[in-house]
Structure 1
Amino acid sequence: MADTGGRHVPPGLRTLSVYRREWLVKDVVAGVVLTTLLVPQGMAYAELAGLPAITGLYTSVLCLLAYAVFGPSRILVLGPDSSLGPMIAATILPLIASDGDSGRAVALASMLSLMVGAITILAGVCRLGFIADLISKPTMIGYMNGLALTILIGQLPKLFGFKTDADGLVAEVRAFVRGLADGKAVGASVTVGVAGIVLILVLQRWLPKVPAVLVMVVLAIAATSAFDLGRHGVSLVGELPRGFPPLSLPHVHWGDFGPLCAGALGIALVSLADTISNASAFAARTGQEVRGNEEMTAIGAANVAAGLFQGFPVSTSGSRTAVAERAGARSQLTGIVGAGLIVLMLVLLPGLFRNLPQPALAAVVITASLSLADIAGTRRLWHQRKAEFLLSITAFLGVALLGVLPGIAVAVGLSILNVFRRAWWPYNTVLGRVPGLPGYHDVRSYPEAEQLPGLVIHRFDGPLFFANAKAFRNHIMRLTRCEPPPVWVLLAAEPMTDVDTTAADELEELDEALNERGMSLVFAELKDPVRHKIERYELTRTIDPAHFYPTLEAAVAAYRAQTGARWPPAAERSPAETALEKPPSG
């Protein structure tokens, strides 16, 4: 097959043709630095998802290698993600119920990863990148705030050294408080966990170039060895299984596919939104072009690869990508180095994290959850737009009260309803001429705006369709109930992007009702595609074809020529307005 400019070669492999030798040392160093974050976070996010810690390392390796081949971004880093962990847990934990079978949990998570991969690959092939826009920013802020609170509350028992079986935010709060009241908290666990949180936050705030998570993990392991914390009731990670799992297709029951599919759809949506957002942010900083469809395909490939090796769904990570960027990463070789080092650790040093306290992993997750919350963004919504603030709060309550998966459904539903609300009730107003300003302006903003006798200029800022057509008609009829009644109702139709058949029928009835009262419905600045639709609907049978004007000025001039209406005397007007007042010659 002839070469077509490399379009049929995976994006990651295409970068080999432009790879520079001077990048090698920087990529290797960045890969080593990145590994120090990949290992503890991978283990922590695996447990957040209700899975053994080792699966987080398997997942990290496979998604890094797959994205290195299929990913279009040079430095974007994939891996287990704190925002996906609760969604994975909410999907698989009800399916394993109370039997606590970790093998079944891994199989379910792996199948979930395969399903997420299939969905995102299909989205990329079908060029469905717009799906990631189904969650508006206010609802995403609310969703992430709810997710942050859910993660935080869910990790508190682990931080304090005990377990609960509660499900749901309110139940988890009650179970945690009950556990404290019953004296289940382990003092050594609380000390390790709280100290870990404080250390990470302090280092991230005052020494951002220091790998805070790695420093905390090393100190926690050292403290365990020095003070024998295991004998003081602190749970430890223990020795990890040696080696790497074989390629295998996860086995699940047929009855599991329905719940898994629902979870996969929500996870895929959040993953795509996160990926497009991160890809756009880092592409802008590095001068790369964002290839949304290729990004989706690459995310899908990474999820499929993880699912075939006992992994779970992944997404891009803004924090890990930032670490790689600061460490000097120039290409996906950074991720390959990180994956290779994790494999070497699993093969040669599986006991490296034997003495890592579980509260330290809880500290990693809790600090990650704090970064998900956007309190400043919520406060900004309150000051800038109350309606979008209420959307954000509703999305937050959806996650907090209904759960993570219902919460994403609430977020998407709210975003779609918000779009529909804006189309249903678009802004509309009357226009007039303002002394000293060319053109025609909103009388709400300019109460002093002048209007010609017998002429109402109305602007409707949205498409005219079945949901708002009757309201539009009723509004126009209200405008005509004045004394003296208008002669023309002139629609400033430039913002009117569409007219469907229901709206066309309403326009026809509106025109006939106005004609019976001696009035005319007139259009100005109507877009050509919309004008063609009106002609196809045969509305020109009732609406005079001469009542379509290219500009408002042309329509006003025609009205003045027909009726003799005049603006205020020229002595009261500026020279520019006087020039505009003169009707066109001929």
Structure 2
Amino acid sequence: MSVLRSVPGVQAAATYRRRWLLKDLVAGVVLSTLLVPQGMAYAELAGLPPITGLYTSITCLLAYAVFGPSRVLVLGPDSSLGPMIAVAVLPLAAGGQDSARAVALASMLALMVAVLLIAGAAARLGFVADLLSKPTIMGYLNGLALTILVGQLPKLFGFKVSAEGLIREIGGFLRGLARGEAVGAAAAVGIVGVVVILVLQHWLPKAPAVLIMVLLSVAAASVFGLAGHGVSLVGELPRGFPPLTWPDVRWSDLGPLAGAAAGIVLVSLADTIATATAFAERTGQEVDGGKEMLGIGMANLAAGLFQGFPVSTSGSRTAVAERSGARTQLTGVVGAVLITLMIVLAPGLLRNLPQPALAAVVICASLSLADIPGTIRLWHQRRVEFALSAVAFLGVALLGVLPGIGIAVLLSILNVFRRAWQPAEAELGRIPGLRGYYDLDTHPTARPIPGLVIYRFAAPLIFANVKAFRNRVTRLARTADTRWVLVAAESMTDVDVTACDTLKELTEKLQERGVELFFAELQEPVWQKIERFEPGTIRPDHVFPTVHAAEDAFRAGRPNYQAPDAEESGLADGER
């Protein structure tokens, strides 16, 4: 029973307040009006039948309501995952011609994503979401937005293009237009649909723009007989809900699906953590990466067992739920129930929905993925970050979605390494009449202390940067009157074996020149590591609790100043 009480859904039910019920019910009704068209549209984006989008929406909403920790987060088919699913599934399913096999492959992909997420939650690997930095995510999403937009243009104009890759798809679309393959009625429906959604979202942000556009397009198809003018319609959906099903795939399919599953896990987790954090700040909740991994994993597990495909968090649908007054995951349960009732009792409700209208939904979603103002801001604020974003964008646009996510991850990791390799550092001095120590390069009035070089090194001292540390200290020690080099080491949070070896060599070479190497504010755990790796590298009397104490000792001519221990100085181990 104690295990059962730890399940988020059980906890939510036990603490539910009656006054929330009406708000959750209303929000669930509003949310369902968005879930249906988006679920169908994103299923087609993934190269799957529209009904699978509804199956996926139902199962993931119910599963996350039980296992998800967030009160208002809404999961479901997502535009950022659609291309990744299509790239993984369609080549194995005869280019999408075998829809049954495509569904089975997509379901297996969801199960593989679920296994990775649940295993990651058990291993407390929620931090992997941090492998994608904001600039690389921005570039990835910009490239994804362009890829989705170009891929949906032929459908918007009522024809098909058989091409892979952004450049080929653009060429195929333009050739189709030149050959007159576009269907005028389809193009009219699609373009008007995009305009209606964008105008309503801008001028009436609280209005259900997607639902209004869908209803208008269904009405237009019925009134004007658009099917007779060459416009493809969704048609009647299969009645009922699929049974519990284990996907029938080949062993040889698992290898190609594995890479896509890993990429989907990373994108889905990063998106979920970011969205959950944003909404948690408004409700006073705290985000637990491990619990979110478990919640998303269980949602994907449920989707995979009922002919669905991988899911992620939707920021737009979560925002709709919150604006509609959602208080708990009951909102998602209400949405799932309403979708179920529709496909069981009224599967023909959207039979006259034009396919270009679904393309319009996807295109508008792709536009919301792009962050052009943010990219421009990167250009003005930090060119290195802009370059990372641009490379991630080009990786997705030119090489494809899956290689693009790999490039994004690699760039983020390399950026971390670059920061460790080239950390912030400065030579410090005094400004007459002011307390503290100041960077000589950024404060023209700061002056060095004759004979004492104060060097601030703001990074862990590791193999990647220890040579730069050694070279800089060596140059500083070459000044004619230098007797002490004092490292302000408050930000030196770690040290490795390579760094300790180099540090010992540096200390010995400086002593040969008559220069002593001292440390101030060196954290106790770091000092202990140095002593364990290279005993005697730093003598106890060469470590000071503060830079000010070191300066006082230097001015007093006491090179053998004995630093007080942690208890005498009143400093904790982590503050020394």
TM-score, length of structure 2 as denominator length? 0.95
One-letter amino acid of the counterpart of residue 415, structure 2 = N
Displacement after TM superposition at 1:436 (Å): 2.8
Q: What is the 5 A alignment of 1:33-72?
A: 33-72=30-69
Residue from 511, 514, 521 that aligns with 1:515: 511
| 1:26-69 CA-partner distances (Å, limit 9, x unpaired) | 22221111111110000000000000001000001101111111
Deviates most, 526-535 or 544-553 = 544-553
Q: Could you tell which deviates more after superposition, 297-306 or 278-287?
A: 278-287
What is the match of residue 262 of structure 2? 265
Matched, 1:93 2:90: yes
Residue 501 (structure 1) aligned with residue 497 (structure 2): yes
The aligned counterpart of 2:308 is 311
Gapped regions of structure 1 (runs ≥ 5): 565-586
- In the other structure, the counterpart of 1:125 is 122
Q: 1:449 aligns with which of 440, 443, 446?
A: 446
Per-residue CA distance 1:439-474 (angstroms, 9 max, x = gap): 111101112212222211111111111111122112
What corresponds to 1:286 in structure 2? Answer: 283
| Stretch deviating more after TM superposition (335-344 or 257-266) | 335-344
CA contact (8 A) 2:504 2:534 kept: no
CA contact (8 A) 1:225 1:355 kept: yes
Find the counterpart in structure 1 of residue 13 from structure 2.
16
1:491 counterpart residue number: 487
Q: 1:183 aligns with which of 180, 183, 189?
A: 180
Contact 1:51/1:106 (8 A) holds in 2: yes
Residue by residue, what CA displacement relative to the aligned partner does 1:370-393 show, whole Å, maximum 9, x if unpaired?
A: 100011111111111111011111
Indicate the residue corresponding to 2:526 in structure 1.
Answer: 530
CA offset digits 1:195-234 (Å, max 9, x no partner): 0000001111111121111111011011011111111111
Partner of 1:167 in structure 2?
Answer: 164
For each residue in 1:402-440, what CA deviation from the matched residue of structure 2 results, as whole angstroms up to 9, or x when unmatched?
100110100010000000000011121211001232111
Shift of 1:300: 0.5
Equivalent-residue separation in structure 2 for 1:44 and 1:457 (angstroms): 62
C-alpha distance in 2 between matches for 1:510 and 1:68? 59
* Counterpart code for 2:360: A
Give the CA deviation at 1:15. 1.0
Q: Per the alignment, in what secondary structure is the counterpart of residue 530 of structure 2?
A: helix
Corresponding position of 2:565: none
1:140 paired with 2:121, answer no
Q: Give distance in 1, aligned partners of 2:244 and 2:267.
A: 27
Q: Which amino acid aligns with 1:318?
A: G
Match of residue 579 from structure 1: none
* Paired residue secondary structure (2:446): coil
Whether 1:548 and 2:565 are equivalent positions in the alignment is no
CA contact (8 A) 2:245 2:306 kept: yes
- The answer (yes or no) to whether the contact 1:459–1:492 under 8 Å persists in 2 is yes
Aligned pairs for 1:383-462 within 5 A: 383-462=380-459
Indicate conservation of the 8 Å contact 1:504/1:539, yes or no: no
Mean Cα displacement is larger for which, 108-117 or 465-474? Answer: 465-474
Amino acid paired to 2:519: F
Task: Verify the 8 A CA contact 1:508 1:539 in the aligned structure 2.
Answer: no
Question: How big is the shift at 1:247?
Answer: 0.5
Matched residues in 1 for 2:274 and 2:13: separation? Answer: 26
| 2:453/2:484 contact within 8 Å kept | yes
Tell me by how many angstroms 1:11 deviates.
0.4
Question: Of residues 204, 209, 213 in structure 2, which corresponds to 1:207?
Answer: 204
Cα deviations across residues 226-269 of structure 1 (Å, max 9, x unaligned)? 11111111111111111111111001111111111100000011
- Structure 2 gaps of 5+ residues are 560-576
Distance in 2 between the 1:495 and 1:286 partners? 34
Cα distance between partner residues in 1 of 2:95 and 2:276 = 40
Q: Following superposition, which runs of at least 4 residues in structure 1 exceed 6 angstroms of deviation?
A: none
Q: 1:230 matched to which residue of 2?
A: 227
Q: Which deviates more from structure 2 when the two are superposed, residues 322-331 or residues 303-312? A: 322-331
Range with greater deviation from structure 2 (399-408 or 511-520): 511-520
Q: Write the letter of the residue equivalent to 2:439.
A: D
Selected match of 2:244 from 243, 247, 254: 247
Alpha-carbon distance in structure 1 between the residues aligned to 2:10 and 2:291:
13
2:155 is the alignment partner of 1:158: yes
Instruction: Write out per-residue CA displacement over residues 280-325 of structure 1, whole angstroms, 9 at most, x where no aligned residue.
Output: 1111112223232222111110100000010000011111111111
Greater alpha carbon shift after TM alignment, 528-537 vs 229-238: 528-537
Report the Cα distance in structure 1 between the residues aligned to 2:549 and 2:337, rounded to whole angstroms: 71
Contact 2:269 2:293 in 1 (8 A): yes
Q: Distance between the aligned counterparts of 1:369 and 1:134, measured in 2?
A: 23
For residues 520 and 463 of structure 2, the distance between their equivalents in structure 1, rounded to whole angstroms, comes to: 22
2:189 is the counterpart of 1:192: yes
User: Which residue is 1:111 aligned to?
Assistant: 108
Q: SS of the counterpart of 2:436?
A: strand
Separation of aligned partners in 2, 1:560 and 1:267: 60
Report how many aligned residue pairs link the two structures.
559
CA distance in 1, matches of 2:540, 2:21: 70
Equivalent position SS for 1:111: helix
Q: Aligned with 2:442: secondary structure?
A: coil
SS in 2 for 1:355: coil
Counterpart residue number, 2:568: none
- The Cα shift of 1:97 comes to 3.5
Q: What is the deviation of 1:397?
A: 0.6
Give 1:583's aligned residue: none
90-99 vs 255-264, which moves further: 90-99
Tell me whether 436-445 or 183-192 shows the greater mean CA deviation.
436-445
Cα distance in 2 between the residues matched to 1:559 and 1:286:
53
CA separation of 1:99 and 1:369: change in aligned 2, threshold 3 A: closer
Partner residue of 2:26? 29
Residue by residue over 1:158-185, the C-alpha shift from the partner in whole angstroms, topping out at 9 and shown as x without a partner, is 0011001111111111111111111111
Tell me, in whole angstroms, the C-alpha distance in 1 between the residues paired with 2:288 and 2:503: 43
Q: Using a 3 Å threshold, how does the CA distance of structure 1 residues 543 and 40 change in structure 2: closer, same or farther? A: closer
Q: Alignment partner of 1:438: what SS? A: coil
TM-fit CA distance, 1:543 = 4.1
Displacement of 1:512: 1.1
Q: Which amino acid aligns with 2:516?
A: S
Aligned partner of residue 437 in structure 1, secondary structure: coil
Identity, % of aligned positions: 69
Match in the other structure for 1:573 = none
Code of the residue aligned with 2:146 in structure 1: it is L
Two-structure CA RMSD over aligned residues (Å): 1.4
The partner residue of 1:469 within 466, 472, 484 is: 466
In structure 2, the residue corresponding to 1:97 is in which secondary structure? helix
